[in-house]
Structure 1
């Protein structure tokens, strides 16, 4: 397995990430691994969606607009989850 290193992370950001990991009952490493894995999985989903032409599905929205909408909804979901975890 490969080791990754991120340099020049500001301490306040690191502290925030540690707090988020603790709320999920994870180590910082496990939390960051989950974030990276989830992002890679989303990119795989985008690649699959791009295989289908809009004409095939009779969709009037460009793929980029769909991706923007998905990203916005995911951000809202992640924010709601973080807010919910903070209130527990």
Structure 2
């Protein structure tokens, strides 16, 4: 099973597959859009927070939500470990 490393940088895959068996949410798509450049879980969470793209209750742990989203994106082969990591 694929694991997500929170301190490693991830980036969108070059060929974004459409027929994935993994169901992706609108939040997953927002996270994926941030990953046009290599980012870690923490940097994606900070980017979403600064851009005001996280519409959930501020008391929720945004980094945990981003990590879960990135794991779904990884399983869907929408993102990959950055070559620089």
TM-score, normalised to structure 2, is 0.30
Larger Rg over CA atoms: 1
Which of the pair is proportionally richer in helix? 1
User: If each structure's strand is expressed as a fraction of its own residues, which one has the higher value?
Assistant: 2
Kindly indicate whether structure 1 or structure 2 has the higher relative contact order, using CA contacts under 8 Å at least 6 residues apart.
2
TM-score, scaled relative to structure 1: 0.30
